[in-house]
Chain A
Amino acid sequence: MSYPYLINRLLLALPTLAGAVTITFILLRVVPGDPIAMMTGPGATEADIAQLRAHYGLDQSIAHQFVIYLSQLITGDLGTSISLRQNVGELIAGRLPVTIELVVIAMLIAVGFALILALKGTFWRGRWPERLVDGFIGVTVAIPDFLWALSLILILGVAIPIMPIFGRMDLTISFDSWTNFYLTESLLRGRFEVTRSVLYHMVLPAVSLALPLMAITARVLKSCLNAEMNREYVTLARTQGFGRLKVIYSQALRNALVPATALSGVQFTFLIGGTVLVERIFGYPGIGNMAIDAVINRDLPLIQGLVLTFAILFILVNLLIDLFITFLDPRLRHV
């Protein structure tokens, strides 16, 4: 892996970002919906509305607005939110850590259980427990994350109310965060009562996000493992004295991870999109939840900033996936 490759990849990301910015900018201004109408009450006069419109630059042509937007963007200024009247960059910086921590935990849960399911399913190949694993995966994959969220709330929040179903942490605990990475920061600062509360609140949203992802990853990984188990190097390893389980995790697994990561990697980016609904359901203060408010209020600068953030996350996740695949397979390194 070389730096030129990395720089190349990051440069290639620029046109993607430019495209995302342009398309959302135009789309948002073409579709019906007026941010000013949303913020002013029914009693506002024509003059008031016109004045507000001019204040936010919305009286200019779309092309002119776009030029202003771009010149601000280059200096790192994402503009001012219309509904919240704060700097968009600061708003997103405050909410993004919340979503990142949630997504990372959900990903760990998904990958961990997917590994166990795929390995066990392969170990039980051709016997009845394998069908049990397949059945479980089949059912889990068919249920989307927001449905999991609602079912989990009904079961663990209402029927047997043992889990918190709203917010990020217990509001009676006061925690003055510097970075908004509550989980990481509370661990580093030794405020373990905060860590506990944050984790406790995270369980249901993280599991809702993780379950469909886990099922897809497990299914893909299991079929890749099955393909590897029929390869000759696995047969040979069996004759060399590797046990049935050892042959799976020490010989076949790494080979199976290459296509499995490439195939299910896309799903990880969908996880970021999945946060929009799940955060909303659990009242989780991340960017997904923020995105819904922004859309309802037709808060153009904020939507624009969030789309840009999502696009950057997509690109970074894809880059990480590619790097991981190259790390796994030496044949991809020496090209």
Chain B
Amino acid sequence: MTSALVVHDLHLAVRNGQVLLPILRGINLNLPQGEIHGLVGESGAGKTMLGRVILDILPPSAVITSGNVDYPAHRSSPSLNRKSAHRRRPHISLIPQDPLTSLNPVKRIGKQMGEILRLAHKDSSQQIHERAKQHLREVKIRNPGQVLQQYPHQLSGGMRQRVLIAMAFSTEPSIIIADEPTTALDVSVQQRVLRLIRDLQKERGTTILFVTHDLGVVAKLCDRVSLMHSGMILEQGKVSDVFQSPSHPYTRSLLEAIPRYDKPREKLSPVANDLQTQLIREADEYDRQRRV
């Protein structure tokens, strides 16, 4: 099957005064069309930055030092954007992390959805309104007409995340970056939102890069998984393989760190400090060798 997204040997650094601080160190990813790929790593591993490269919304201080991002399934428009590492960028949507801050507080939901739809379609306002309603129904919102009239602060967190998912799918993207979409939600709502994302993904064959630090979610949702630390991918493979026989000590340690509700007496086992130090030292070593 053709790949939807290929990231090839991507190096990214952030400019801090005169120095460049490396953030991503040679990332390789290959997502076939229709795959849900889990991207796991702790805070500061570079997950969000990788998502931003793919979305082409890097902050001005970030520099791509080598490598590129390609979309082999989208060879239609031959434009070449020299400023970024992108070639032939298809439409990519983002499902953001925090539903409470990701909607514009001063605009009604209908207006916000309408603005996005209007960028994609040349429809009358009436048609746009109907489309928006339809997209809200798809995320199981029962009273779409009313929700369209409301402001974000009048909706619950779960409802807002549904609206954001509806927005992400409304532009018919071929790739979606889901940046920890359930982290800010409580557990019962999490499950429903995850199922919603999976159902819509199945229906449309969207490729999803699912950024998370919740290995349970990865096990339930993803086809393959990449584990990141200090801007490097430590382990990559099918979810079942990685979980059953993790090859990297960091993966093993992460799997052991999941607290189990059925064993309340078990000690909490965070990732060991010396393993963390070891990984950081390896990253430094990598930088040194690249510079030479």
Which A residues from 232 to 254 make CB contacts under 8 A with B? 232-233, 235-242, 250-251, 254
CA A237 to CA B93, docked complex, whole Å? 10
B60, B92, B102: which contacts A125 (Cβ < 8 A)? B60
Contact between chains at B151 and A231 (CB < 8 Å)? no
Which stretch (A1-9, A149-157, A278-286, A323-331) binds chain B?
A323-331
- Least distance between A226 CB and chain B CB atoms (Å): 13
Can you give 7 A-B contacts (C-beta < 8 A)? A232-B97, A236-B94, A238-B57, A239-B57, A254-B107, A329-B105, A330-B153
Provide the main secondary structure of the chain A interface: helix
Give every chain B residue within 8 A of A240 (Cβ-Cβ).
Answer: 93, 115-116, 119, 167, 171
- Whether B119 and A232, one on each chain, are in contact in the complex, defined by CB atoms closer than 8 angstroms, is no
> Which residues in A have their C-beta under 8 angstroms from that of B98?
232
Q: How many residues on A have C-beta within 8 angstroms of the other chain's C-beta atoms?
A: 24
Inter-chain contacts of A126 with B (CB < 8 A): 60-61
Whether a CB of chain B sits under 8 angstroms from the CB of A55 is: no
Q: A241-B120, A328-B106, A330-B106 are known contacts; what are 20 more A-B pairs with Cβ within 8 Å?
A: A126-B60, A126-B61, A231-B101, A232-B98, A232-B102, A233-B102, A236-B102, A236-B164, A238-B55, A239-B57, A239-B92, A239-B94, A240-B93, A241-B119, A241-B171, A242-B119, A258-B106, A329-B106, A330-B153, A334-B154
User: Which residues of the other chain, B, contact A189 by a CB distance below 8 angstroms?
Assistant: none
Interface: B218 (CB within 8 A) = no
**Residue of B94, B96, B97, B104 touching A251 (CB-CB under 8 A):** B104
Is A127 part of the contact surface with B, judged by Cβ < 8 Å? yes
**Is B103 part of the binding interface, using a Cβ–Cβ cutoff of 8 Å?**
yes
Interface footprint category on B: 20 to 34
Residues from chain B with a CB closer than 8 A to the CB of A251 are 104
Chain B nearest CB from A333 CB (Å) reads: 9
Closest Cβ of chain B to A97, distance in Å, is: 36
Q: Are B101 and A232 in contact (CB under 8 A)?
A: yes
- The reply to whether B119 and A235 form a contact with Cβ atoms under 8 Å apart is no
A236–B105 alpha-carbon span in the complex (Å):
13
Docked Cα-Cα span, A277 to B49, in Å, equals 55
CB distance from B78 to the nearest CB of A (A): 20
Q: Which of A233, A239, A251 has the most CB of B within 10 A?
A: A239
Bound-state CA distance A5–B129 (Å) is 34
Bound CA–CA A67/B57 (angstroms): 69
Residues 151-198 of B at the A interface (beta carbon under 8 Å):
151, 153-154, 164, 167, 171
Interface: A140 (CB within 8 A): no
Segment 50-100 of B: residues with Cβ below 8 Å from A: 55, 57, 60-61, 91-94, 96-98
B102 to A, closest residue via Cβ = A232
Residue of B nearest to A228 (CB): B104
Expressed in whole angstroms, the Cα–Cα distance for A239 and B56 within the complex equals 8
Residues of B within 8 A of A331 (CB): 105, 151, 153
Asked if residues B116 and A241 are in contact (CB atoms below 8 Å), the reply is: yes
Nearest CB of chain A from residue B88's CB, rounded to whole Å = 16
Asked if A180 is an interface residue, CB under 8 A from chain B, the answer is no
Whether the Cβ atoms of B96 and A235 lie closer than 8 Å is yes
Q: A236 to chain B: which residues have CB within 8 Å? A: 94, 96, 102, 164
**Do B55 and A239 touch (CB < 8 A)?**
yes
Which A residues between 209 and 237 are near B, CB-CB below 8 angstroms?
231-233, 235-237
Residues in A neighbouring B167, C-beta threshold 8 A = 240
